[in-house]
A = this chain, B = another copy of it.
C-alpha cells in the first residue's frame, strides 16, 4: 500500500532542515512581532511530523503512542522509530483539551487559619513531613506521567477560588494536606464532586477518601515498648483534644497501658508545641514525681519535655524514659535522641496518589479509608 518511494520521500523531506524551517517561519510571520522568531526556529515535532516520517496517519501514531488497540507490530516499530528520530513528545495542552484530563494533580496544603505567613510555613515545612509526602506522591505519580502542582490555601476566600479553579480543570484531582482539624476543604471538595483524597482522617466524617496511620496502634507500640523497658509508672502528654490524630493516640495509649496492667495514666494536655511540652512535663512531674516513663503525643513536645527534664536534673532514660511520635527532625535534634513512633508517610502518600488516580479513572468509585501501621524507632531516650 505504502510505496517505498513515498516513504523515502517523506524521510528526505524531514531530513532537510530548509523545508521545515521555511514552513515554520511562515507560520510565525503571521503571529506578529510579539513572538521572537529566534526562539521558535526549533519548532517542536508534532504528531503530524511523526506520522509523515513513519508514513502513516496521525491516528495510527496516536494509537501506537497511547498503546491502544490493534496496530500491526511492524508498523508499531516503524512508528516508534519515527518518534525517537524526531524526539517527539506529546503536547500536553492539546491532549488535555480533548481528553479533558490535565495529567496534573494538585497537592493542596490547607491552613484554615493562616495568620501571617510565618506560622503556616514553619509549622508545616519545618520538618521532613512535607518532603516525605512529596516523595511518596512522586513515586506513585511519576510512573503514571502525572504532574504535581502545589497549591497553598490559607484564607477561606482562597478556598472557594481553589474549588473553582479545580472544577475548571486546573487539576484532575487533589491530595489534601490539612493543617487544621475541621478544615472545611474536604467537605467543599466532596460537595463539588471533585476527586480528592485527604491525608489524615478528617475531624468530621466527610464523604471523601482518606489515608491515615493507625494512631492508636502507634500509641500502643509506645506503651508496649515502655513496659518492656520495665517502666511501671507511665504518664502522658497529649495533643489538643480536637485533633483526631491526637485523640486516637491518647485513647490508644490508655487502652494499651490498661491491657498491660497500668489502669490509670496521668496526663496533661499540650498543643503540639515545644513550649507546651516543656510546660506539660513540669506539670506532669509536679503532680506525679515518681513517673519513670512518659509518652508524648508528638516529637516537638517530647523535645520540650526533654529540655524540662534536663533542667529538673532527671536523667533520661535512666530515671525516666521518653517516647515521642512522628519521627520528625526534632526527634534527631533532641538530646538524647528520641525514641519515637514513625508513620509510613511515603507509603501513605503513594497510596493517596493511587487512590486518587482510581477516583479519577472511575468517578463513581466509592470512597475508601486506608489505614497504615506505624513502627517504633528506638533511640536513646528510652
A→B interface (CB under 8 Å)? 34-36, 38-39, 42, 44, 87, 89-94, 96-97, 102, 104, 107, 117, 120-122, 124-128, 130-132, 134-135, 138-139, 147-150, 152, 164-165, 167-170, 193, 303, 307, 329-330, 333-335, 346, 361-364
Contact = CB atoms under 8 A, between A and B. Distances in A.
A93 B152 CA distance: 22
Nearest to A147: B149
Contacts of A91: 97, 168-169
B169 A92 contact: yes
Copy number in the complex reads 2
A363 B36 CA distance: 6
A207 to B, nearest CB: 14
Given A36-B363, A90-B168, A150-B150, 15 more contacts: A35-B363, A36-B364, A38-B364, A92-B93, A92-B168, A92-B169, A93-B169, A97-B97, A120-B135, A122-B128, A135-B152, A138-B152, A149-B150, A333-B333, A335-B335
Contacts of A132: 121, 125
Contacts of A193: 39, 42
Task: List 5 A-B pairs, minimum CB-CB distance, nearest first.
Answer: A125-B131, A93-B96, A89-B168, A333-B333, A39-B363
B121 A135 contact: yes
A281 to B, nearest CB: 16
B92 A94 contact: no
Nearest to A141: B150
A93 B168 CA distance: 10
A165 B361 CA distance: 24
16 contacts: A36-B362, A38-B364, A44-B167, A44-B168, A87-B164, A89-B167, A92-B93, A93-B94, A93-B169, A117-B139, A121-B128, A121-B131, A124-B131, A125-B131, A126-B127, A148-B150
A149 to B, nearest CB: 5
Contacts of A104: 149
A93 B89 contact: no
A330 B334 CA distance: 10
Contact of A150 (B35, B134, B363): B134
Nearest to A132: B121
A296 to B, nearest CB: 16
A117 B350 CA distance: 14
A75 B168 CA distance: 25
Nearest to A166: B89
Contacts of A165: 89
Contacts of A361: 34
A110 to B, nearest CB: 14
A303 to B, nearest CB: 7
Contacts of A35: 363
Nearest to A122: B128
A367 to B, nearest CB: 14
Contacts of A121: 128, 131-132, 135
A113 to B, nearest CB: 16
Nearest to A129: B125
A146 B379 CA distance: 44
A148 B147 CA distance: 10
A76 B167 CA distance: 25
B329 A362 contact: no
Contacts of A363: 35-36, 38-39
Given A93-B102, A168-B92, A170-B147, A130 B135 contact: no
